[in-house]
Structures are given as structure tokens and as C-alpha cells.
Chains A and B, each alone.
Chain A
Amino acid sequence: MKRPALSWNAEVRLALAALALLLAGSPAPAQELRLPVKDGSIRFAVIGDTGTGSTAQYDVAKQMIAFHAKLPFEFVIMVGDDLYGGSSADDYRTKFEQPYAALLSGKVKFYASLGNHDNPDERNYKDWNMSGQRFYTWRASPGGLGKLDNPGVRFFALDTNYMDKPQLDWVESELKKSSSEWKIAFFHHPLYSSGRTHGSSLDLRAQLEPLFMKYGVSVVLTGHDHFYERIKPQHGIYHWVCGAGGSLRKGDIDRGTGLTEVGFDTDYSFMLVEIDGTDLYFQAVSRTGQTVDAGVIHHEPFPASAAPSPLPPSPGSTPVAPAPVSPGPPKGSPAPVVSPSPSVSPSPPASPSPKPSPAVKTSPTRRRPATPRRSPSPRPSPKPSPTPPP
């Protein structure tokens, strides 16, 4: 029997409807992966401000699942506001377990930190691996989480809702003990952010930044402001705001802060990270699967003598080189990427706390912060690399 002819418009409509059905019922197709997928690398995703249970959160989750097929990441970092509007059993299901079901069933672990919308008893939730602690640390090593024969990457989950003295003492003690080459801190409130709604948490920065500088934290992952922002390196430390995993404040990035390396505040997003030795590759992906930022930062290995001990070198030792430099925006990035206005000075914002060094990209020495109580100790010297991500 001859199929009735359809008009061009009707055929297009049918095709679009079929496509929509396909997309709704299955993971979204992953777009181009910009990470190298190297053997033995440490791979993870970063999400923040997710727990709305909205269609947007589910869309981002679908992209994470689609990218997981290309980059089998082992775990997901959650930078807080994991559940909005309560923490009933139904909230856990609809705002966490259902959207990320495919990842959970694929044995992907989630490591949560608590945001200002999270009830503190969420730390007991089995799938957030917090072991009942509001701040905790663990190590991921190549070849398996926590493998003991490699200093690997150490993560520090902090509770910035309540940064009291016991926690500050703990942060200092744990950072001091760690001999990991990569020390990555993650928590909710950003030390640096161009958010009009919240922006940088200056008081928190005044307490944490001197510790991070002294004890060699390289990367800080945060949320709270509902967008994606990669901050220009501050005192050799890379800061990200990844707060658009399920919430969004459109147009909230203030381009006048001079902090933004790359920002994206027009749609929801998450980030992928792959660490291979001294290289950390990153890729930020939008709800529609577009790459909105990508790059690599480098970290020189610790000197052999310094590796087992994080204590500061003796006075007069070699000055520290600047933090690793990431390349510019990815080639052919199809999504709108906010860049700081060329007319905006890259100098730091007015702040009572340590100020970012404008020399961080080019100077071979690190400047001391303006107001730390003690000068931070030198850290292993990272080298800039013009190498774009693969």
C-alpha cells in the first residue's frame, strides 16, 4: 500500500516529534569530548546547586550520563545545595536518586558537601559518602580510589555554612599532613565569584585562603552562585564556580569584577575533570551538551625532598613560579561564553582579604597576599603551558 504523501512541513514536524521522543526517553547525545581519556587517569564530574528536581536538573543529568559513556568518570563532586526545599525521602528520590539513577547504578560515587539549603543531617545519607561528617577528606589515586602507593589527588570537602574554629583547625591539620601533589578543596560558598547575587565570600576567603596558599591547594571548586565561572588564578590557585547544575541566575555574572576568565550564565551546566599526573584537564558542558569552557592546567611535581613533607621550605629557597595557565576558550565553542570586557582591568576587586596578584600569569614569583597573618610558604612550581586540550 502506498504511503500517503506528506507535505514537507508535516514531515519535518513528524521528524522533530520523533527526535523529541527519542531524546526524552534516553540519555542526551554527548557532544564533543575535549578530555584525553588517558589510561590510569583520575576522572570526575562536578555539579552544584542541583537539587531542584526541575526539568533542567534532569537535562543536565542526562548530559552527564551521555558524557559518562565517553569519559567513564569514577565519581561526582557535589558542591552543595544538593536538596532544595526540604530533605524528605521524596526529596532525595526526585532531586537526586532519579536524575542520577544511571550513574548510581553504574557504580559512580557521589561525594557531597553541604550548601546553605541542605539540612545538616544529609551528611548521613549513604549515597553522598560523607560518613556522617560535615567536613572530610579522601584521596583518589590512579588505578583506584585511595590506592596507597601513590600520593594521588586529595580532596577536602568543607562545610562553609559554618566555618568555626574546630573546622579551621581541621583544615589546617589535614592540609599540613597531606603529601598529595594535587590538593583540591570543594565547598559551597565561593571565595571568588562575580555573582551579582552573592559574589565572593570575603570573610571566608580571609580565613581559608592563607591556609590554601601555605599548604598548596591548587584547585577550589564551589557553587552558590547559579552559573559557571572559571576565575582568573588567584595567588596561584584555580577557583571554579559550578553552581548551575539545577538552578540558574541568568545574566548574574558581573563582568566588571575582573575576576572572570570564562563565564557562562545563560544556561545550566556541569564540569568534567580528568587528572593525569601533573595535568588537570577540564571541560564545562551546558544543558544542551555544548562545551562552554575547556582547558588544561599543569602542576610541576613536588621536589623529591619536599614530597613527603608539606612543611614550608627553609627561608631563602627558590621562589615559586606562577600557577599553571590554562589555554583560552575551546575552539569553535558554540555556546555563548562570557568574557571579561577588554576595558576591564584584570586587577583584583576591592577586598579586605588577600588580593589576587596580577602577575600570576607572567611573573616567576608569587606575591604575598595583602593581609595574611603569615606569609604563605612556597609551593611546587607549576609551569604555564600553551598546550590546548586534546
Chain B
Amino acid sequence: MRERAVLLTLSGLLAGAGCSATSKESLVPPQTVEMDAETLRKFQHEVEEYVELRQKVLTKIPPVTTKATPDQIAAHQKALTEAIVAYRKGAKRGEIFGPEVEAAVRRTLHRAFSAPDGPALIKEIKSGNPTVEGNPSARDPTKEVKQPVTLTVNTFYNSAAPFSSVPPSLLLKLPLLPDQVRYRFVGRALILRDTEANVILDYIPEVVPDPSIPR
């Protein structure tokens, strides 16, 4: 399949301010997404549509300020989550990660995990991965209790569960996302999660080639 590296200038469209092109003096590597330009455009379009929907939802729920109380934060999140789940009722796997996007993401991750640094990347993905790690128990914080995450589109990501690490070098190879949405790993799957609504928007199963990670 024809592939070419699409640099930050394209994926940066989603990021908005703060996403400057890498200058000559910068030590920060460029965003290098190995994805066909049309496939990347489709993915960005799906994500943009979701963000637009989210913006509409935000106008209909109580706002949260940057000096919020715990009650305000909790109320805002609950309202946001419920509204998004209602708006996206019937959403299915693959609607954001379309077939071409999924194939390109799989190739990217396969290359990364097959590289010499692959085992180190997988080790970091295990860190905080909810199928691998739990929370310290309140009764005895030297012991951990796992919190299950149901891997289903348009469901609430268990707020008691931790979040996996996503190694920065992988983030530099995947399409850049706006602040409202993030990649995470749950077990061996890559998920797309709303940052604050805590909703699983889409996922790609079995992308981490490590059978020691429970599904």
C-alpha cells in the first residue's frame, strides 16, 4: 500500500495553538505519522466531528471553571458523560478508527514494537494499564485492587481504574489529537478516550503483541 510520512503540518490542524513546527534549534522530534494522507484526513475529520459534537454538548451543561469545587467538577463530568453517551447512542467500533486508519495504526504500532526499543515500550504500556495494575487499597495501601474497564464503544471508562502510559515516541508516530481526546491502552487494545467525559469513543483490539498482558 502506498504510504508516505505526513508531517505535523497536516496533523497539526487538529492541535491548534501551541503546536509549532519543529525549528532547526529544537530538540523535540517532529510528528511523523506514517499514514496515507487521505486516510489521515478521514481520521482527522471523524475526530473533528466528535469535538464539534462535544462543543455543542458543553453549551447545554453547567460549565466548570478553573477554580472549581469538587462538587462542581463531579457535576460537570457526570452531565458531560451522560450527554455524550446519549448523543452517540448506537455508536459502533470502527466509526472513528475506520478500516484504513486501523490498518495504518496497526502497522505503525507493529513497527514500533518490533524495533529494538519495542520491549521497553511494551513495559511502559503495562504501567498503569488497568488489566495489569490496580489501585492501592485504602485499608492497606501496600496491596492493590484491580478495577475492571469494559472495552465497549460509548461506555464509561471506569473512573476508579488507572490509565496506561502511552510512550511519547508512540505519540509522535500517531496522528496528533486535540486536547479533548487521547489514546490509551486497555489490556492489549488501543482506545480513543474523551479526556474529561471519561468515555471510550472507539478502540482497536489486539495491537500490543504481548500475551502476558491480560485482555
Contact = CB atoms under 8 A, between A and B. Distances in A.
Nearest to B170: A203
Contacts of B70: 87-89, 91-93, 97, 125
A52 B136 CA distance: 7
Contact of B28 (A52, A126, A168, A248): A168
Interface residues of A, number: 64
Contacts of B138: 52-54, 84-85
B68 A126 contact: yes
B165 A116 contact: yes
Given A202-B120, A352-B120, A121 B73 contact: yes
B148 to A, nearest CB: 13
Interface in A114-130: 116-117, 119-126, 130
B171 A162 contact: yes
B90 interface: no
A371 B143 CA distance: 38
Interface of B: 8, 15, 18-20, 22, 26-31, 64-71, 73-74, 76-77, 116-117, 120-121, 123-124, 127-128, 135-142, 147, 159-160, 162-172, 176-177, 182, 195-196, 198
B171 A163 contact: yes
Contacts of B27: 172, 210-211, 214, 372-374
Contacts of A86: 159-160
Contacts of A117: 128, 135, 162-163
A226 B71 contact: no
Per DSSP, are chain B's interface residues mostly helix, strand or loop, or mixed? Answer: loop
A279 B136 CA distance: 36
Given A162-B166, A165-B176, A250-B142, A202 B124 contact: yes
A247 interface: yes
A206 to B, nearest CB: 7
B196 A121 contact: yes
A121 B77 contact: yes
Which 4 A-B pairs have CB atoms at the shortest separation, nearest pair first?
Answer: A132-B66, A92-B70, A116-B128, A203-B167
Contacts of B74: 87-89
Contacts of A54: 136-141
B15 to A, nearest CB: 6
Interface in A197-248: 198-199, 201-204, 206-207, 210-211, 214, 224, 226, 246-248
A246 B136 contact: yes
A164 B171 contact: yes
Contact of B18 (A52, A85, A161, A170): A170
A168 B121 CA distance: 18
B137 to A, nearest CB: 8
A170 B171 CA distance: 16
A373 B28 CA distance: 9
B19 A116 contact: no
A210 B123 CA distance: 22
A121 B76 contact: yes
Given A52-B137, A125-B68, A161-B128, 10 more contacts: A89-B70, A89-B73, A116-B163, A121-B73, A121-B76, A201-B127, A202-B117, A203-B168, A204-B168, A206-B169
A182 B165 CA distance: 29
A383 B89 CA distance: 63
B18 A168 contact: no
A126 B67 contact: yes
29 contacts: A52-B141, A53-B138, A54-B138, A54-B139, A54-B140, A84-B135, A84-B138, A85-B138, A86-B160, A87-B77, A116-B128, A119-B77, A124-B66, A124-B68, A130-B66, A161-B166, A162-B182, A165-B28, A169-B19, A169-B20, A189-B165, A201-B165, A202-B124, A207-B29, A247-B136, A248-B136, A248-B142, A352-B116, A374-B27
A132 B65 CA distance: 8
Interface string A78-99: 0000001111110111000100
B168 A164 contact: yes
Nearest to A168: B28
Nearest to B18: A166
Nearest to B15: A166
Contacts of A165: 8, 15, 19, 28, 30-31, 171-172, 176
B66 A84 contact: no
Contacts of B172: 164-165
Interface in A43-69: 49, 52-54, 56-57
